Each structure stands twice: as C-alpha cells, then as structure tokens.
Chains A and B, each alone.
Chain A
Amino acid sequence: MAKQIGADRLGDFYKEGSRVRKRREWRGFRDTMYDYSRWLWIMMTLGKFVMKPRNVKAMFRYRWMANYLAVPMMVDRHTQGLRGEYLRICHTEQDLVIKDVANLLDSLFRGDRRIGNDKKFSDKVVLVDENEMTAVMMGFPDLKVLSRETPSTYVSVLLNQRAACHYIDVAQEFGLAGDVCPMPEAEAGVSIDDDAPILGACAIQCNTTCDGSLLGNGVISQRLEKENGIPVFQLAAPLRHREDDVQDYAAQEIRNAIAFVEKHTGHKWNWDAYFECAKRVNYFTKCRQEWLEMNRTPYPQVFGSNLALYTETNYMAICGRIPAFEKADAKITKLARQAYAKKKMAAKEYRHRAIVWGVQSHYYMDFLVWLLNCWGIVPLTDMLSMVSTKELVTEDTPENREQAIYDMAWLTENMIMRNRTHGGYKVLLDELWEFVEMFNADMVILWEHMSCKALDGMHGMFEEKARERGIPLVWVSHDLFDPRIISRQGVRDQINSFMRTVMQEEPIDPSLEVLPDDQSW
C-alpha cells in the first residue's frame, strides 16, 4: 500500500481459483481518490444502462451480455500499478471506450427485433464487421453504424478471457474447421447460436484478413440475407495494398459500397460530414505520431495497452465519426507532454525497450502492463498500432472529392492487422526491423497467434533477421480468443523462461511471475 510506483507486490492481489482480485490497489491518496472517482463514474454509466428495461431484457437474452459484469475489472487489469499521468491516460481511454460500447449496446437493443424492435431506428442502421474500417461511413452522419461482433465477441474477450469459448465450440459442433482464427470462428458461432441482435437496413462486410474471416462472414451473411432479409455488401479491398495498380479497383469498391448504402437506406452521401471526419482522423494521426515520437526517447509516455487498445478503437471503429474522441486525443497528448517534460516513468525500472510484433493475445491484453511491472520491459509500440499515417484531404473541392475516395480506399486497405499481415514481405518483416532501429529497441517480442496462417509462415525469416542484427527475439504463442489452448500463465511462462535463461535476469516484481488467474475473468 504505497504511493510510489512499484512499491506493491502486485501478484499478492490475486486469489487462487477466484474470478476476481482480493482488493483494489492503494496508490497514494491522490491517485486512489482519482481511481475511485472513475470507478464511481463507471458504476453510474452501468447504472444508467440497466435503468432501461430493454437493456435488462437483452441481458437475459444474450449469453455474451454476462461478460459485461466484469467491466470494472477490465479497467483494473489495465491500470495495474499505474500512477499519475499514466493512470489518467488509461482512464481517459478506457472510460471513453466504455461509454462508447454502452451507447453501441443501447442502440443495438433499441433496433433489435427481439428486444426494442424500433423499426424506424433500425431502418437507419448499417451493420459493419468488428474487424472493419468504418471510413466508408464517414459521409453518412444521419445513419447509425453498428457492429454486432464488437460487443458480442471483441469486447467480451477483453472483459472475460473465456467469453468466446462457448461460441467457438458451437461453431465446431456445426462442422466448421477448428484450425482457423478463433475470432471469426466465435463471431460465426454467435450467429449459429442465434445469439446476435437482428436489426439494420443493410450490412457491409469486409474481406478482412484471412480464411477464418471469409468463413465467418459467409455464415453470418447467409443468415442476415436469407433469414433476416438484411442485404449485405461484400467490400473486397485489395490485399496487396502497397501496389499502385490496385488503387483504382480499391476506390471503385468504395464507390460501390457508398452506392449500396444510399440505395438501401435512402440517405445521400454528405461531403461536409466526410471532410469534418477527415479532419478528426488527421488530428488523431498527428497525436499518435507525437506519442510515437516520445516513445523513441528514453521517456516513452503512451505505450503498451494504453497505445494498443485506444488505437484499435479510434483508428478503425471510430474513424473520425465521434467528436468525443478528438477531445480525448487532446487530453491524452496534454498528459503525455506533461509527464515527458518531467521525465516521468511508468514503472520503477526500465530494463528493456521492446517492439511487440504479430497479433496479440486478445484474452490477455493486459500482458503489456505485466511485461512492464514484472520484468521492466517497455512495450514501446506494437504491430497493430503501426497503422497509416497518411494525411487525408480535408478541403471540399472537386479534385479532393475524387482524392477522398482514394483516401477511404487506402484506410480500408490499411485497416488494423490487414496492413501488416497482408501486403507483402516488406510490411510484415522488413518494417519491423526499421521500427527496431527507429525506436532504439533492444528486444522483439513476437506474438505467435497459432491459428494465423498469414504470420506463421514467416517464423523462420523473423528468426534469421533477428540473428543477423543480434536482437534478442522471443516467441510468445497463444490462440487469440481461446485460453484453453495456451493459458495466460502459459503466455507468461514463455517470457519468464526467456528472461531467466537467455537474458539471465531476475524479475522486478517476483510476485507476478506465476499468477493464479486461470479461473479469473
């Protein structure tokens, strides 16, 4: 119980066989009161959500809603050990994401034929994939862009490590392959299990990144189109996104998607709204670049899950459409500058500067905080945060309208994950080493998502390049959404063994080396 960073043995908060921790941290008076005030705010947000009878009805209808019991604990996991500006940055992000997800759930249930059944509202809804750039909706300010997969699977697994297991099993019981990525498989499982809200004027699916994604989209769109009568557009963005000769085709896909939405909703594309969103996208890009610039110095400020989770949400799911995120960008940047000016550190000791590459374990997103607290490894940036930094055109001219179509196509091609797992050797392999140099990193942590065939094929080449450069590289295997294959402790053990045997080091906080969190949310 101390104000100083790193004074607590953070592993002592865990209890064998328990879903939850023994108690919350004492972070000194000021930070504890701040954390408590944010906890109160979260409880009020959840309270407001359950005040609506339709949301209670949904809670008893959809299995994945049970995961939302764990919202405060998700925040606790990500704020573990943090103090001062880092704690405030984390809360600024997490609290906004919680509010945004609560709004998303409320909207889904309002239009859901089983729950709220507000037909007029549902007619304004365009469904999108979870793993899809929403750039194509930037010019439809009066339509609601909702993703069913985001709350049912993506956020659920952040809340509860076992959230997707039921749906993965359902998908496999119905004969779907067990060796595909468990994320789209779980999304398909939700649809097969009749556990997805039914609403919307139409839907847009994206050829995201892999065989599993195409399989999942096929299952979901079949039910949407043939049973629910909701037409689906397949936005097939080119995979070789760095090639000039695919850009005209990519732009045409965007035009087709816009025409599809206009046809099925009766709403017309609004260029003023688009350029407003484009300005916000540019602002986020500017802020993100400033954070990354700080991370190149000995005093990184916005890193780890603070960088990863927020980038995933803001870059892809929000894409300039929600002004509240612009305010959060400004606040985070202000806090980061403040901490940087004082040369502050998020942990008591920084031993290694790491680039985290590959697709991270979703059931253990707070692993990045663990790396810092247990071993003093600073995750400077990660593959999913290294997305497009291209400036979008923001002035409404005839030429810029044409360019804007190409900008949306570029963003769609360069959505998170796809911009690295597809697009050729350079974006996945070569640029990693450019970032190692740029960030002055002395270690690479390479996630091996065992069901991701796009990445697994490059295993040997990563090792060869690491040996050439003399950079220590550690593989961390996981199965993205399924902790039954490799547990959280299994993930930690891979780092523990590497640090003890190869690096010959002792942990900064030994209580975190082995944690009894197998039954935890």
Chain B
Amino acid sequence: MTTFLLVLKIIAIVLVVFFVLTFTVYFFNLDMKLTAAIEPWLLKHYDKIDRDQHL
C-alpha cells in the first residue's frame, strides 16, 4: 500500500511539473521565441548549400 501511494505521489509530482513547465512555455510563447532565434541560423545554412540552379 505504501509503495502504491509512493508511486502515485511520484506520478502526481511528474504530472504537475510537466504541466507547470509546458504551460509556462505555452503561455509565454517560449516555443515560438526559441524557433524565431533558430531561423536566422537555418537561413544562413541554406545559403551555403550547392544547388543546380537553372531553368
């Protein structure tokens, strides 16, 4: 019984931490702020790729 309650407690803590973290990312739009920071780096990378450009 004690082990069962302990497991339940751990699951509850994990869920709460998961919710707090992901909801913070969601609400403050942190996911988009991060990807906006990645984009310029990706665009520079694309400029370096050799391409067979022609009509």
Contacts and interface: CB of A to CB of B under 8 A. Distances in A.
Interface in A21-35: 21-24, 26
Interface string A181-217: 0000000000011110000000000000000000000
A26 B45 CA distance: 37
Contacts of A22: 29
B26 A194 contact: no
Nearest to A59: B42
Contacts, number: 64
B27 A24 contact: yes
B43 A192 contact: no
B32 interface: yes
Nearest to B35: A69
A23 B22 contact: no
Q: Could you say which interface size class chain B belongs to? A: 20 to 34
A170 B39 contact: no
B1 interface: no
Most buried by A among B26, B33, B42, B51: B26
Interface string B12-55: 00000000001100111101110110110011011001011111
A174 B54 contact: yes
Nearest to A64: B46
Query: What is the interface of chain B mostly: helix, strand, loop, or mixed?
Result: helix
A39 interface: yes
Given A18-B36, A60-B45, A69-B38, A194 B29 contact: no
A192 B55 contact: yes
B54 A24 contact: no
A438 interface: no
Nearest to A173: B53
A119 interface: no
Contacts of A40: 22, 26
A60 B31 CA distance: 20
A33 to B, nearest CB: 9
Contacts of B46: 63, 66
Query: What is the interface of chain A mostly: helix, strand, loop, or mixed?
Result: helix
B32 A219 contact: no
A20 interface: yes
A195 B54 contact: no
A36 to B, nearest CB: 5
Contacts of B43: 63, 66
A192 B45 contact: no
B39 A21 contact: no
Contacts of A73: 32
Contacts of A23: 27-29
A72 B42 contact: no
Nearest to B52: A194
Contact of B42 (A20, A66, A193, A194): A66
B39 to A, nearest CB: 6
Nearest to A69: B35
A19 interface: yes
A193 B29 contact: no
B39 A194 contact: no
A70 B27 CA distance: 16
Contacts of A330: none
Contact of A219 (B28, B39, B55): B55
A253 to B, nearest CB: 28
B54 to A, nearest CB: 7
19 contacts: A18-B36, A19-B36, A19-B39, A20-B33, A21-B32, A24-B28, A26-B27, A36-B22, A40-B26, A59-B42, A61-B49, A63-B46, A66-B42, A69-B39, A69-B42, A70-B32, A73-B32, A170-B53, A194-B52
Interface of A: 18-24, 26, 36, 39-40, 43, 59-61, 63, 66, 69-70, 72-73, 170, 174-175, 192-195, 219, 222, 521
Can you list the 3 inter-chain pairs with the closest CB atoms, starting with the nearest? Answer: A69-B35, A19-B36, A20-B32
